[in-house]
Amino acid sequence: MQFDTSSLWIYLYLPNLQLNIQQIQTEAINMSCSTDNGRKRKIQYELGQQQGTEQIELKKTSAQIIYHPKLNQILQLNNEAQKLGIKVGMGLASASILCSSLAVSEYKEAIALQALQELANQLYLVTSDIVIDEPCGLYLRAQNMLRLYGGLAGYWQVICEVINKQGYDFYYASAFSVNAAKLIAKHQQKFINNDKALIHQQLQQCSLLLTDIDKKDIERLQRIGIKCIADLFEQPLSALASRVSKFSLQIMSELRGESAAKLRFYQPPKRYEHYLEVLYDIQLTARLLPVIRKCLDALEAYLLVRNGLALSLQITLYQREHEPITQVINSALPIYKSVLWLDIITLRFEHLALSSGVYGINLKCERIEQADGSESDFFNEKSTQIAAMTLISRLKAKLGEPQVQLMQYCDDHRPERCTQLSAQVVNKSSNKSSNEGFNKSLQNKPSIPAHFLDRPGFLLNKPVQLNSKVSIIDGPERVASGWWDNHMIQRDYFLAQSDQGQQMWIFRTRDDQWFIHGYFI
């Protein structure tokens, strides 16, 4: 989509995405190990039994770099590496001479692209028009958001709050041209202003080498004395049309603000899937939980943007020397918060055994339920129902889904056959989603047949013969049923009370034998 040249844009430049992600993972793993000393001793014991070589806490290497093997260049490096004299663009051999204990990670563009999509999901909550500039940048159209936030300062404060939560290193710049904002930010500037004179002054100090102009055209321009943007703006485009390509000429026109760029706005995907590669092979499920928490935080942001809830997640653990392990995590309650999902996953992973080290985690959510916007009064039983659903989810994760069953009423007058065990938590119809059925169950109390209201709270598995003297309080109630399945009964039920005051449910058979079938509690 093409825009006019009067819109204010902000460019976010994130040059160290992969390095920042590795640092965040390291801090999360170390924090999880240091907060629980008891679990730490357990991990030490298990590690000693399994390998005996892996460290309990991931030690921070003094110098870390991200290396591109095809270009033979260093693309990203931390502050410790910079202090040793290592620079971006340096070869691996030169860097190894400066530091013998250098931690080298191979550059993977997919990691940066996924991080940009996650950041776009987060920013989508506070700003409308976002464009992903692969592999390390985002365009934000700020012009249509200024009235909402009361100006550029208020809008930028909200944007910074979202980005700072991610822990990424970033530079930024604002301009009335997307290419101008990008160029200023790539000079590692932190410039936010809507004054055209100041923007033009900042832009003139930039170098041609960081623009999107073709490298061959930059060499041609340097031969005729054009070495910076200020020199470029002194020459009319008509004088340069015969010296550069059409692509470079279009970039120059956009830098001047004479033509608008064609951009495609970001739209959140309909299905969620997230893959995360860990820093090193992990053989303990306790170590996997902080990494999974990072994936769940991204899922929470995705669901929040779409006003959605999830009932089921699929987690695939990729093992180094064995087949991947796929775990389907279900929740009886549609939820979106990462903390709630992590509680269920923690219980499930307590019984999970890994055959070899895990190097990658894939989180997938196939189906998203729309959150119900209906409101209810303060005194209803919604909180009680939610607590019950949460308990069921945790029991299923801990014991296994087949081991957790609920009692349900059946359309049968025989007391021993009026209830049955079922694994279903919410009744699902073919025309309604599971979330609609859940919301309906919260609003309506479960319908109990009228003939069950005067039944005892404690029913015996098998009736026992009545051998003591009792007093009849109410009755009889005749139950004659079951002729269709060869389990026919005919009984006269009474409400009785013993000499000690215990109320019980007794019945009389055809041959005048008396039995106790339950007690009222």
Q: What is the pLDDT of residues 71-120, one digit of tens each?
A: 999 999 999 999 999 999 999 999 999 998 888 999 999 889 989 988 99
Q: How far apart are CA 53 and CA 255, in angstroms?
A: 56
pLDDT digits (tens, 9 = 90+) for 322-366: 999 999 988 877 888 999 899 889 988 888 889 999 999 999 998
DSSP track, 170-211: -EEEEESSHHHHHHHHHTT-EE----HHHHHHHHHTSBGGGS
Judge whether 516 and 506 are in contact, CB under 8 Å. Answer: yes
- List the beta bridge partners of residue 504: 496, 519
271 pLDDT tier (thresholds 50, 70, 90): confident
- Range of weakest confidence among 174-188, 233-247, 405-419, 482-496: 405-419
Residue 438: per-residue pLDDT = 44
- List the beta bridge partners of residue 498: 470
pLDDT digits (tens, 9 = 90+) for 290-302: 889 988 988 998 8
CA-to-CA dists, residue 64 to 57, 77, 294, 371, angstroms: 17, 6, 22, 43
Q: How far apart are CA 164 and CA 152, in angstroms?
A: 18
Q: Is the pTM of this model over 0.75?
A: no
Residue 149 pLDDT greater than 90, yes or no: yes
